[in-house]
Structure 1
Amino acid sequence: MLNALSVDVEDWFQVGAFERTIRREDWAGLAHRVEGNTDAVLALFEEAGVKATFFTLGWVAERYPALMRRIVDAGHEVASHGYDHKRVFTFDGAQFRADLRRSRAILEDATGQAVTGYRAPSFSIDRRNPWAHEVLAEEGYAYSSSVAPVRHDHYGWPESPRFAWRPVEGSPLVELPVTTARFAGRTLAAGGGGFFRLLPYGFSRWAIRQVNQRDGRPAIIYFHPWEIDAEQPRVQGAPLRSRVRHYSNLSVMAAKLRRLTRDFSWTRVDALAAQEAERAA
């Protein structure tokens, strides 16, 4: 079964864990490592022979348009991650629409290709802002991968479906939630990111196999370029929980990703979205 592999392209200082520690107006003066880290991800994918989707911040694409071209020239998809990682529930409808249009214009100008997919920063479409799907549909997006159907201290919409669904009646827009697994009556986050990096590899392998074999559905996995960068700067003054989550196991992430690409088959999210849209119709 083909699963979807995705990369949320943002730099080490743009993550939700540090949003109250590092000011956006200071980003430009910090050490930018996103280009080199993303190139390392591209090399890893080339070695493994897999194609993926890169959900990219407009802020990053604005500064590194050549990187965007390298991504699409290698056969990967570039999709939107918003402009500067503001969570969707901090917007009203008009602000969200403006953010979508700004980031999409930057991405399409850099890549020369249409942007049809979107992932909300920190999976920030949830029960507070279901109207966001309506805006995405009106803006012509084919798919969103913005919902985490779990309980989590930073995000989550536990009542939402675990697999592909149509959030807007009469619209072809399909929502592709990140992967979860079931154990002892509970829904467990298993879609990648910190869970993949911090937990033993065997957990992710078990979860993907459960989804593929028991549920008969593809998995949707994500990670960030900064997660393979053990030499990135350390943020002073951030909460202990944030520092533990962010910096643990950075040195083993690349090796775990290589195992992941060997153990399962992968494709871009847009390819999976087309397949799942037919199923959800």
Structure 2
Amino acid sequence: MVAPPLRRDGRIVNAMSVDVEEHFQVQALAGRVSRDQWDGLESRVEANTGRVLDLFARHGVTATFFTLGWIAERHPGLIRRIVAEGHELASHGWAHHLVTSQTPEQFRADVRQTKALLEDIGGVAVRGYRAATFSVCPSTLWALGILEEEGYAYSSSIFPVHHDLYGMPDAPRFAFHPLPGRAFIEYPMTTLRLAGRNLPCGGGGYFRLLPLALFRAALSRIQASESQPGIFYFHPWEIDPDQPRFDGLPLKSRFRHYVNLDRMAGKLDRLLGAFAWDRLDRVFGVAPQGDPPAPRRPSADRAVS
């Protein structure tokens, strides 16, 4: 059974989340920047995520940080700060591999390794997962069963919209149990149903590119007419207008990645003040993070690159 929405002072509390990755690890740059180049590029994630943490602290907001294992391995101090400041630590997979690019065996190794490292560094149980580029779709629903088997309690990996890179428009718009008879829950990204279509209003590039007033109106309508909390997400690199620019990008990729970076921090500041926010696990009543489970080291474990 899905828990009723959390309310404070009569207001529905929404879930705030951050996908912690470097500016060069996004799908829009995948054709320009290879994984072999990553370690040679300027790292900006710790400073950018620090700015995000400071912004949240000013508003008294705690959030869920879906974090790459690749990032945690290189910035353990950042992981400890996220936990120390009261935020939920969750998995974004190891190195931003799309689920659609992995076999079930590769995916299992990926999410197992990431969970183990995050728990070792953060000292808390990791209960949540978000797929890179929302790549849980009809052809990869098998991934949700593997997540449940590996000790995850929930996923927030489905975006019920039409999009050229992702999307599952026929999926339920709000929290649901994807595995019959199991407690595991999927929390889809927030959409507004209008004129027979699902319109995205869960953050990310849409939030950077479109007016803040549209997002405020959409979220207010969902709360008023459907009594549901929203799930919002963004990336630390989206508040970094000074990040290095890569040449040779297709026009669409350049537009998606760089437009309105200079406005994002201000828009977030206003959004945080306009609604009530909290960590995804608290908003939806997921079992709280406690001590991590004892490490499992079966022979099937292997490194993921």
* TM-score (ref. length: structure 1): 0.97
What code does the residue aligned with 2:271 have?
L
Q: Name the residue aligned to 2:202.
A: 191
Equivalents in 1 of 2:151, 2:70: separation in Å? 22
Q: Name the residue aligned to 2:225.
A: 214
* CA-based RMSD: 1.0
**DSSP 3-state at the match of 1:54:** strand
Q: Name the residue aligned to 2:258.
A: 247
Aligned match for 2:214, one of 174, 185, 203: 203
What code does the residue aligned with 2:78 have?
L
Q: Name the residue aligned to 2:155.
A: 144
* Maintained 8 Å contact 1:143/1:176: yes
Q: Name the residue aligned to 2:16.
A: 5
Q: Which runs of 4+ in 1 moved over 3 A?
A: none
Deviation track 1:90-110 (CA, whole Å, cap 9, x = no partner) reads: 111111100001111111111
Equivalents in 2 of 1:100, 1:3: separation in Å? 26
* Maintained 8 Å contact 1:145/1:177: yes
Gaps of 5+ in 2: 1-11, 288-305
Q: Name the residue aligned to 1:83.
A: 94
What code does the residue aligned with 2:79 have?
M
Q: Does 1:92 align with 2:93?
A: no
**Offset at residue 210 of structure 1 (A):** 1.4
Deviation track 1:219-253 (CA, whole Å, cap 9, x = no partner) reads: 00000000000000001111110011110000110
Aligned match for 2:52, one of 41, 66, 70: 41
Aligned match for 1:259, one of 259, 270, 276: 270
Equivalents in 2 of 1:10, 1:224: separation in Å? 7
Q: Name the residue aligned to 1:161.
A: 172
**DSSP 3-state at the match of 1:105:** helix
**DSSP 3-state at the match of 2:42:** coil
Aligned match for 1:63, one of 69, 74, 80: 74
**DSSP 3-state at the match of 2:66:** strand
What code does the residue aligned with 2:225 have?
R
What aligned pairs does 1:116-155 form with structure 2 within 5 A after superposition?
116-155=127-166
* Maintained 8 Å contact 1:137/1:168: no
**Offset at residue 29 of structure 1 (A):** 0.3
**Offset at residue 263 of structure 1 (A):** 0.5
**DSSP 3-state at the match of 2:233:** strand
Aligned match for 1:273, one of 268, 284, 299: 284
**DSSP 3-state at the match of 1:71:** helix
Equivalents in 1 of 2:286, 2:68: separation in Å? 26
Q: Name the residue aligned to 2:32.
A: 21
Moved more, 175-184 or 56-65: 175-184
Equivalents in 2 of 1:107, 1:181: separation in Å? 33
**DSSP 3-state at the match of 1:2:** strand
Equivalents in 1 of 2:241, 2:66: separation in Å? 22
More helix by share: 1
Equivalents in 2 of 1:31, 1:255: separation in Å? 25
**Offset at residue 275 of structure 1 (A):** 6.3
Equivalents in 1 of 2:217, 2:183: separation in Å? 32
Q: Name the residue aligned to 1:279.
A: none
* Maintained 8 Å contact 2:153/2:286: no
Equivalents in 1 of 2:64, 2:13: separation in Å? 14
